[in-house]
Amino acid sequence: MSLVFDAVLCLVLLAGALGVVTTGAARPAVIAFIGYGLLLGLAWVRLAAVDVALTEIAIGSGISGVVLLRCVRALPAEPLTPAPNRMLKPLAAVVSITIAAALAAVVLALPEPAPSRAADVAAALPATDLGNPVTGVLLVFRALDTLLEKVVLLLSLVGVWALSRDPACRGRPAPLSPEPAPAPSAFLARVLAPIGVLVGLYLLWAGADHPGGAFQSGAVLAAMGLLLVMGDQIRTPAAESRGLRLLLLAGPFGFLAVGFAGWATAGVFLGYPPGAEKAVIIAVEVAITVSIAVTLGLIVLGPPAGEERP
Amino acid sequence: MSALLVLAITAPLLGLVPLLLLGPRTGERAALGMLAVNVAITAGIAERVAQGGRALGYVVGGFAPPLGVGLRADGFSAAMMLMAALVLLFTGLFAMTGPGDMTRKVKARGSAGMPATFFILLLSLACALNLAFLAQDLFTLYVALELLTFAAVPLVCLEGKAGQLSAALTYLLFALFGSVLYLLGVVLIYGLYGTLDIAHLAGLMAQGTGGATAGAALALMSAGLMAKAALFPLHLWLPPAHSGAPPAASAVLSAVVIKAPLFLLVRLWSDLAPLPLTQVAGPVFALCGAAAIVFCGVVALAQERLKLLIAYSTAAQIGYLCLMFPLAASDDGPWSALAWTGGTLHLVSHALSKAAMFLAAGLIAETMGHDRLSGLGGVGRVAPVSVAAFGLGGLSLMGLPPSGGFVAKVMLLTSALQQGAWWIATVVLVGGLLAGGYVLRVVVIALQHPDSDAASGRGLPDARECRWRALIALALAFGAMLVGFMPLAPLPFLDIGRPVTWEGLLP
Amino acid sequence: MTGALLFGLAGAALVGCGVYGLLTAPGALGRVLGFNILGGGVFLMFGVVARRGAGAGFGADPVPQALVITGIVVAFCATALAVALLVRLCAVQAEAARGGDGDKET
């Protein structure tokens, strides 16, 4: 029975992906992409990877979808497209099918029994006092990757801000909509945001032992922040605000500080103090969640529009 | 366990804090300080590797690979790190001291707000490059490559002109395509061996268990790296991106950013892949390299803009590294070692000379107000130091003594001749002639009598080059020359720590 | 583990879809979507590797799961930067078309 479900899910997933790449118009393609992302999240659940499923739905489909939809609205309705070469599509189809077939053959040829690090993780996890092995890999065993990925996130915001018309990068982002928010969305923001924030905090709290964690939580919190902005409940912050900068830096550099402290407490960079591992790891998670939420939200809002003139 | 390896990655990041929190002037000074610290750290690593005669290692978080992530510096990575750190520091000084294109605007607008995005990107580049040269885990290397891309792409479009934006977008799309291919290779490797640590993988792969899938994984990763390094035929994004950027940005992009994927290509095929596989792949790389040298060299000859000419020359020069692969993998004792040294030395000397040439071209364009070759007649009179830096850097591209490019190319040539690879030897020589053609063309125009350009109605401007910054370009060109005083023999330093292993490095 | 295999084949097919999108997309937005589909396929294949490596009480090997989470975030960053570049490029081009005094130097 579950095999039938998986087969149907795979087929729908493929249909969605094909829809995205064959639809000529931008908006339907993006909407198809968001749906495809949700289905992909379902596939991750079926692969027993609930943490990944949450991340895919929150970031891969959710926040990415918002970014892409904003882009569709900002682009001219009919982009100038040169007449495509008639041979292009059949040729591309042949190339893609060949690649897919070759990869399918590779998947079928993967070795049995499959190599795995699960046993290593299981052996090392108890020392960290964490219940969720994925959080253990992200924040303990491969903490360096996670730390640097925070820097990537910060850097992509720097890249977006560098596209501001103001070379000094000041002011607030252009408003999401020129008109004041209609009453329903203000109402929605007031009602939904507190619930969403609770969900986000739960994801953060649960992440140590159950599926969830900083990214999923940060994405939900960012979405709630955007909801409040859209409902005119809060103003978007100015890029030069020192407090905002501190929030952006708290995650990556808090993490880095803990890494350096590891030299004193555990004798090694990115080591955790023996006995207090879990408390420190959760503190790091809180800091990076805050930064992720703020960074994701600001990336969606776009480059600051320059200093306001009174 | 050497803490210097950790500092090499983290120290540049610390420089971001003052840049994002304090005013631009303080931030810029702190950034330059950090770039200098970075040079000191990398020099320290090189010194220890040379002293100890073996690689340095560090296990992050105390979890040994394959569960954890390790850093490792051998002679090759130490040399690359030091070279990159020097180029970054000199470019930082160049961007700071004068009224540079990008710093002027920021400074003019007061002190609040985002200070000098350029320096944020420069420091991030330093972190990304050091990580790429040190990391021993294929996924950590993926993160390093992404960090590099995210720091490099905004550099292309700092001024926000339409041409720069579209070049940056093309660059980003190529780089992303490269990342995905690389990641696909990583997935297959993990599926085969359950580890991503290079030393462990090298041992597993040598047993030959992977079959065709292992070859496919390496091919995918290589294709991804080629897209990021702009290796022929995936070079199309490079000329607009590198020529359109502000001069200081062009210099780091052309000199060091593309060197990281090239370095990893060498890592992949000399340290990870088993020798028989490298012997199969070697000729393919050499063909791509030869095509790059000849094709991009000819295109460079035909350019009308100075910066585009230099950008095409970059696309041509990276071909030399690829010529190394079949020669180094031939298992021919000293001759393959000579090719290896020649190829890697070329990476270093090209970086220094190309940085010098882009900075010099930037100064020439600033002095004249444009960089059209037809209008540069007699520029040697108003920008003598810049023209000298350009010419000296060009020596290395042509492969004339005394220069690092000369030593590197003679090593490749000797190895090719000794191994009977006549076609590779021919390509080395033809590439040198083409480089001679496009470099001398610029130098001849620059040294013309300005009157000979009177027909076009353009005289020389009253402006003079900024001497301070021209000297920085000249210093880099001298650096490329100094590399040329290496003995014409395999360099033991570049061979320290190979083959890759954790033995004796773990606690 | 037939179910996992099924998703592996789907991952391979998604990679094919993504490549097709990258090759045929008329505009940059289409290429960004193609890149995302391609990335999704690669991640899914990694998920299958993880599922096949289930053991020691875990439903799937946690190491690839963590790497995929990192990968998804990096892919998002890439999408966001590409989109921001595209929007700015269109704005600059539109201005140039209106004013006719765009930067001809580039």
How confident is the model over B123-143, as pLDDT tens digits? Answer: 999 999 999 999 999 999 999
Residue C27 has pLDDT above 50, yes or no: yes
Q: CB-based contact (8 Å) between C61 and chain A?
A: yes
> Domain check: are A53 and A191 in the same one?
no
Q: What does the alpha-carbon distance between residue B362 and residue B333 come to, in Å, rounded to a whole number? A: 44
Query: Which stretches within chain C are classed as H helix?
Result: 2-24, 28-52, 62-99
- Over residues A202-226, mean pLDDT: 86
Which residues have C-beta within 8 Å of that of residue B496, sequence separation ≥ 6?
B49, B50, B53, B54, B55, B74, B75, B78
pLDDT, tens digit, 9 for 90 and up, residues C56-97: 888 899 999 999 999 999 999 999 999 999 999 998 888 888
pLDDT, tens digit, 9 for 90 and up, residues B369-424: 888 888 888 888 888 999 999 999 999 989 888 888 999 999 999 999 998 889 99
For residue B57, the surrounding DSSP H or E stretch is strand B56-60
Residue B150 has pLDDT above 50, yes or no: yes
Secondary structure class of B402 (helix, strand, coil)? coil
- Chain C hits for A37, CB-CB cut-off 8 Å, are 40
> Domain check: are A223 and A310 in the same one?
yes
Q: Work out the pLDDT band at A277, boundaries 50, 70, 90.
A: confident
Please check whether residue B218 is in contact with residue B181, taking contact to mean a CB–CB distance below 8 angstroms.
no
Radius of gyration of chain A (CA): 22
Neighbours of chain B (3+ CB pairs under 8 A): A, C
- Over residues A250-260, mean pLDDT: 95
Secondary structure class of B69 (helix, strand, coil)? strand
Size of interface B-C (CB pairs under 8 A): 89
How many Cβ atoms sit within 10 Å of the Cβ of residue A202?
A: 14
Q: What does the alpha-carbon distance between residue A200 and residue A216 come to, in Å, rounded to a whole number? A: 8
Which residues have C-beta within 8 Å of that of residue C99, sequence separation ≥ 6?
none
Please report the ipTM that was assigned to this predicted complex.
0.94
With vertex at residue B240, the alpha carbon angle to CA B238 and CA B246, rounded to the nearest 5 degrees, is: 105
Among C64, C70, C103, beta carbon nearest to B162? C103
Q: Check A252 against B144: CB less than 8 A apart.
A: no
Q: Mean pLDDT across chain A, nearest whole number?
A: 87
> Given A55, A76, A97, which residue is the final one in a domain?
A76
Please check whether residue A192 is in contact with residue A139, taking contact to mean a CB–CB distance below 8 angstroms.
no
Q: What does the alpha-carbon distance between residue B52 and residue B32 come to, in Å, rounded to a whole number? A: 30
| Res B106: pLDDT | 41
Q: Which domain holds residue A267?
A: 117-310
How many Cβ atoms sit within 10 Å of the Cβ of residue B430?
A: 15
| Res A1: pLDDT | 64
Q: What does the alpha-carbon distance between residue A107 and residue C1 come to, in Å, rounded to a whole number? A: 13
Give the position of tokens 């340095």.
B56
Can you say how many angstroms the Cα of residue A125 is from the centroid of all Cα atoms in its chain? 25
Which residues have C-beta within 8 Å of that of residue B108, sequence separation ≥ 6?
none
Q: Check B213 against A110: CB less than 8 A apart.
A: yes
Q: What does the alpha-carbon distance between residue A161 and residue A166 come to, in Å, rounded to a whole number? A: 9
pLDDT, tens digit, 9 for 90 and up, residues A22-35: 887 888 999 999 99
With vertex at residue B138, the alpha carbon angle to CA B345 and CA B9, rounded to the nearest 5 degrees, is: 65
Nearest to B134 by CA among B201, B88, B77, B76: B77
| Res B507: pLDDT | 63
Can you say how many angstroms the Cα of residue A75 is from the centroid of all Cα atoms in its chain? 23
- Over residues A244-251, mean pLDDT: 93
Which residues have C-beta within 8 Å of that of residue A244, sequence separation ≥ 6?
A237, A238, A294
Size of interface A-C (CB pairs under 8 A): 278
Q: Work out the pLDDT band at A38, boundaries 50, 70, 90.
A: very high
Q: How far is B94 from chain A (nearest CA, A)?
A: 19
Instruction: Say which residue, B456 or B256, is predicted with more confidence.
Output: B256
> Given A16, A49, A76, which residue is the final one in a domain?
A76
Q: Does A90 fall in a domain?
A: no
Q: Check C17 against A145: CB less than 8 A apart.
A: no
Residue B84 has pLDDT above 60, yes or no: yes
Q: Does A156 fall in a domain?
A: yes
Helix axes of B306-317 and B422-447: crossing angle, nearest 10 degrees: 160
Q: Check C70 against A149: CB less than 8 A apart.
A: yes
Residue B229 has pLDDT above 60, yes or no: yes
- Over residues B19-38, mean pLDDT: 88
Q: How far is B170 from chain A (nearest CA, A)?
A: 15
Q: Check B60 against A151: CB less than 8 A apart.
A: no
| Res A127: pLDDT | 87
- Over residues B27-54, mean pLDDT: 93
- Over residues B241-250, mean pLDDT: 88
Q: Which residues pair with B305 in a beta bridge?
A: B372
pLDDT, tens digit, 9 for 90 and up, residues B286-313: 999 999 999 999 999 999 999 999 999 9
- Please give the tally of structural domains in chain A: 2
Amino acid letter, residue B496? I
Residue A145 has pLDDT above 60, yes or no: yes
| Res C9: pLDDT | 95
Among C20, C34, C50, beta carbon nearest to A93? C20
Helix, strand counts (H, E) of chain B: 24, 2
What is the fold of C2-99?
Helix Hairpins (1.10.287)
Listed in order, strand segments (DSSP E) in B287-372 are none
Q: Does A61 fall in a domain?
A: yes
Q: Does A173 fall in a domain?
A: yes
> Domain check: are A285 and A229 in the same one?
yes
> Domain check: are A1 and A128 in the same one?
no
Q: Work out the pLDDT band at B247, boundaries 50, 70, 90.
A: confident
Residue B116 has pLDDT above 80, yes or no: no
Residues 140-199 (A) with a CB less than 8 A from some CB of C: 141-142, 145-146, 149, 152-153, 155-156, 159-160, 163
Q: Which two tokens stand for residue A33?
A: 């992409």
Residue B336 has pLDDT above 80, yes or no: yes
For residue B59, the surrounding DSSP H or E stretch is strand B56-60
Nearest CA in chain A to C45: A107
- Overall size of chain B counted in residues: 507
Q: Does A12 fall in a domain?
A: yes
> Domain check: are A31 and A151 in the same one?
no
> Domain check: are A71 and A196 in the same one?
no
Q: CB-based contact (8 Å) between B244 and chain C?
A: yes
Q: Which two tokens stand for residue B319?
A: 């071909």
Query: Which stretches within B399-466 are classed as H helix?
Result: 404-418, 422-447
